[in-house]
Structure 1
Amino acid sequence: MTSPIALLLPGQGAQYPGMAVELYGAEPVFTAAMDEFFSLMGAVGAGLRADWLSDHPVVPLDDASRAQPLLFAIGYALGRALIARGIVPSVLIGHSVGELAAAALAGVYDPPGAARIILARYEAMATAPAGGLLAVSAAAGDVERHLDARSHEGGVGIAAINAPGITVLAGPEAELVRIREVLAGNGISAMRVGSRQPFHCPAVAAAGEKFEAGFAGVTLRPPRIPIVSTRTARVVTPEEAVTPGFWARQLDAPVLFWPALDTLLSAGAYTVVEAGPGKGLSMLARKHPAVRAKRSTVVSLSPSRASGTLTAWHAGLDHLTT
């Protein structure tokens, strides 16, 4: 019997062509959840579905208009499929848009509400500047020391703390290119993350405001499953859960993934399960002392590329049910 399950739901950067497509039509609950989401998203949903299933998408998958809603939908649909099989998580942690999928699984909003929220995020990010994300092999404090006044004025900021030595920067394109050169000149390596827009930084503050307005008319409820927020690194309170700004302004606030994971794994032993494309969050979780000491374990449900998705899914299910 496994220890209580903590479900990890990934965000921007986890996407890749063909992600989870092998499950579509083969896993009934997953398929139904995806179809429901696409239908609720209307014409936008039809375009999402077409590009997701196509070998030659009209809009590149790294664009926020594709990656964000698809990552939400896949994480949510995988969670629904697990719950339908009796594999019910005790706690949820979502990275970026994954936190919105966590809220949906926890019943903070219903599927029509989720579609309205994701459509609002889609529209808000359409106003964001061109830019992206930069994964830096250094601690957040070390990275911050290399951000000068020009960087901050240009909208660059720390977008995520993924591990003690893995920090993500975000910002508009020109400034992101410049700061990468500054870091390289100081012996700090960095690489681009799959994204054509910045997230979780000052450059998208206006988009965060627009996104918050998109919550109007959506009923919010306290979560039925605890969520350790990657905005605050603590459990979401009932008051926070029913406050639109709590969820919306996550768009321009840093993702505190490692602090949130530490909050979780310092409190007890868990089977940490990544429900989304790739193994990015799983690899980060395996760096945690509680996992290294084998107090907690990590399970991935998806491969790092499209081939072998069904095999990975069934292997993960076998691990969780034996």
Structure 2
Amino acid sequence: MTTSRYALLFPGQGAQFPGMAERLHDLSPTVRDLFDAAERQTSLPLRRICFHTDRIDQARTDWNQPAVFLAGIAGWYALTEEWERRGVTNPPVCVAGHSLGHFTALVAAGALSTSDAVDLVRRRGELMHAASLTSGGAMATLVGLAEPTVAGLVREVGHDAVSVAAVNGPDQVVVSGADAAVTDVMDRALRAGAERVVRLAIALAAHSPLMAPAAERFAPLVSAAALREPRTPVLLNTTGRASRDVAEIRADLHRHMLAPVLWWRCLQTAREAGAHLLVDGGPGRTLSKVMRRDLPADAVHSLDHPRGAEALLP
């Protein structure tokens, strides 16, 4: 499988697994340097969290966000290192990241330095973790119901208690909010004919009003972030549109914690831009599994595949 037209995508919180990025770390001096710098910067044992911590403990938000970010950007570092070794270049048509993964995408696009992204992600994880300790919260994926139907169930329960947090496909919708309200929506979804409802292994209500305190405290960091015009268009979570405009990217980040992730719209935008292949940059194959429900098998690829880099050679 070869292509020269692809979109590079990065997952967010929930993509963690023990051993993520360990193979890349062992093979690549650049990735080892990346881990050295990030551990000094965050004072977190990121090698231990990524390589040896079990998935449940990895899910702790203030650990998870810098660890998943680092594992994702390690894949990008390793890919570009491989291309340099072969003497080729093959930039993506566009880049995107799901929620937390948006910060990884901004680095891959050149809109944000790795060091600045580590600071932002570290602080974002701390603030969201603190908000979750105060307000609790839960998230669930509903499969088999379209977004308008799920939005109707959310209205029945109450927007102040639960929200649509992400639209991952035509009938894959994530809801987020107070634990009891999420459970209520899950029950209503099953009665409405949902194929499957899955409570996410995360004690957090991301992309819901429960994150308002964290969003308020994160806003000054977004305003001060040293963003620059990306080399590659970035697909914005809150609109689904591609952008290289710094002001637009910053405005998207200001809405990021509270607004739903319009992921399916992002994927449609990527394909309309000419990306024949949607590449899951990892860690793991979380996005690949989500996308394969609604897209042809040959339209989805993962860098975690043994021939991950080779499939992207021009």
Q: TM-score, normalised by structure 2?
A: 0.87
Runs of 4+ in structure 1 off by over 6 angstroms are: none
Distance 1:242 1:232, change over 3 A: closer
Letter in 2 for 1:68: Q
Superposed CA RMSD in Å reads 2.3
Change (3 A) 1:237 1:88: closer
Match of 2:310 among 311, 318, 321: 318
Letter in 1 for 2:192: N
Partner of 2:141: 135
What residue is the counterpart of 1:172 in the other structure? 178
Identical aligned pairs, as a percentage?
30
Tell which deviates more after alignment, 117-126 or 177-186. 177-186
After superposition, the Cα gap between the structure-2 partners of 1:77 and 1:259, relative to the gap in structure 1 and judged at 3 Å, is same
User: Using the alignment, how far apart are the partners of 1:214 and 1:76 within structure 2?
Assistant: 21
Matched ranges for 1:1-322 at <5 A: 1-41=2-42, 43=43, 45-46=44-45, 48-55=46-53, 60-86=57-83, 87-125=90-128, 126-128=130-132, 129-137=135-143, 138-148=145-155, 150-154=157-161, 156-188=162-194, 189-215=196-222, 217-240=224-247, 243=250, 245-288=251-294, 291=296, 297-302=299-304, 312=305, 314-321=306-313
1:166 Cα offset (Å): 0.5
Change (3 A) 1:149 1:319: closer
3-state DSSP of counterpart to 1:258: helix
Change (3 A) 1:72 1:241: farther
Q: CA deviation at 1:159?
A: 0.6
Instruction: Spell out, residue by residue over 1:209-238, the C-alpha distance to the aligned partner (whole angstroms, 9 max, x if none).
Output: 211123354321111221112221111241
Partners in 2 of 1:185 and 1:149 — Cα distance? Answer: 14
TM-score, reference length from structure 1: 0.85
Show CA shifts across 1:296-317 (max 9, x none). x321122xxxxxxxxx3x4212
Task: Count the aligned residue pairs.
Answer: 302
Distance 2:137 2:18 in 1: 21
How much does 1:251 deviate? 1.4
Please give the secondary structure, in 2, of the residue aligned with 1:76: helix
Show structure 1 runs of 5+ residues with no match.
Answer: 303-311
Structure 2: give runs of 5+ residues left out of the alignment. 84-89
Is residue 165–residue 207 contact of structure 2 (8 Å, CA) maintained in 1?
Answer: yes
